[in-house]
Structures are given as C-alpha cells and as structure tokens.
Amino acid sequence: MTRIGRLFEKLKREGRCGMIAYLTAGDPTPDATPGLVAALERGGADLIELGVPFSDPIADGPVIQRAGDRALRAGMTLAKVLDSAREIRRRSEIPLLLFTYLNPVLRYGFGRLANDAKEAGIDGCLLIDVSVEEAEEYVHVTRAAGLDTVFLAAPTSTEERLRLVAKYSSGFIYLVSRTGITGERDNIAGSALPLIERMRAQTNLPLAMGFGVSKPEHVAALAGHVEAVVVGSAIVRQIERDPAGLEAFMRNLTSPLAMRDAAIN
C-alpha cells in the first residue's frame, strides 16, 4: 500500500476529511518547491499534488497557467520535479501525487517515469489528459512500479466512463466539481453532489473533489460528502502574491476540517 492508501485509511479511522493541496512545482523557482510543500504540510495539508509545468495546459485557468510559465522560465523540467520530490522526502513522509499532462510523460517514457518516480518518493500519478478508455498500458506499467493511478471524473462523464475510472483508479478518485478549466469560484457547483452519488455507485474507493474549491466555506460544504477536498488555484495565487503567508493561508483553508474533527471527537 502506498502512502496515499495509508493516508485514506488513517482519515477513515479518525473520521475526518482530508486536504489535498496542489502547487506547480518550480514556481517561483525550482529551489522554492520543497519549502513551499513544508509550509503546506504545517498548515494542515494531508497530501500534495506536485504539478509538472507544461507549455499547453488546456485544463488550467490563468492562475495556474501563469505559474507554469514562471516555472518553465525558471528552468523546471519533469526530471527536476522528481529532484524536488527527493528533497521533500528528506524531511517529510507526506503523500506525493505527480500531476501532469500526457505529453511530458510520453517524452520521458512511461516505464522510465514510473521507476524514477517511485525511487524519488512519489506515491502516485494523475495524467490529467489521458483517455481512460486507452489507459490500460499506462496503468499496468505504473502499478507494476508500485504507484497509484488516479483518474478524473466530471459531471459530464457517462456511466461507462465512471465505471472505467473506478476500474483503473487506485488510491482515490479525483472528482471535478464543474466542467471547464481550473480556477477559483464563489460557490460550489450544483453538479458536485450528484456526481459524488453517481461515483459512489461505482466504487468503494475514496473520493476527492476539486476545481473551484477555494474558500473555507467550500471546504466545509464538501467535508461531509467526500474523503478529501482539493485546493489548487487559490494556493497557487497565494504563492504568486505572498509565498511567506502560505502556511497561514493553508491553516485558514483547513480550519473547517479541524473544527469538524473536534466536533466528531
């Protein structure tokens, strides 16, 4: 079992919802990434998504697009993201999920990446634009290396696609609360809860929900429905504005989870 699997077992035992934090590795510089991850962990993050910067991030809104551009200009590469993971592992056992588009992985090589990622301390991979209908080879190679494979499900996913997402996912399933690109929103989409119910009918795997989750009240609204919430753009914007304030920002986001945990116990 990976650190991801052990985390969700721990969350279940404790009766609490987890916090998954995304950041673009290499933003603002490659050297800054391990320290930013440490700040997120101190602020209450349970799992880190290490985003690999990519030149054509079709699923990302302007905040993460700018972060990717800064990281690429600073010289960040997929190999250097793995170097960051190694550095993080020197001080932390927090689960790490590699979050990337398919093209950098194709250039690097599925087998090579799976083995190198495992050696670097990565626990799983999420290829945001891979077609789940054509994922069997990728899943086989990645699982053989001992990594989890996480797939996305959206409100527009058909029942057959949800079935395939359940079949090929391990660790957890990432639910997209709304259609469209990443970014902060004022409210949780009305499509969020029906998607959770549809996915529950297909799997017993833990569910995490992201896209548009950016405020403590969003976290509070979802905490009773999924095993984890995912925050991305709001964190990346905080890094863009004031990286020194990242830990306090994360504490504010996770405060509803702490209060809920206290109420349960």
The token pair at 52 is 């690999």
The token pair at 155 is 């409100």
Cis peptide before 28 (omega within 30 of 0): yes
| Length in residues, the chain | 265
83 is catalytic: no
Neighbouring C-beta atoms of residue 106, cutoff 10 Å: 13
46 is catalytic: no
Closest CA to 213 of 254, 156, 166: 254
Active-site pick, 60, 148, 227, 247 = 60
Q: Are strands 228-231 and 148-149 parallel, antiparallel or unpaired?
A: unpaired
Neighbouring C-beta atoms of residue 61, cutoff 10 Å: 18
Active-site pick, 27, 41, 49, 227 = 49
C-alpha 84/C-alpha 37 separation (Å) is 10
Q: Which residues are catalytic?
A: 49, 60
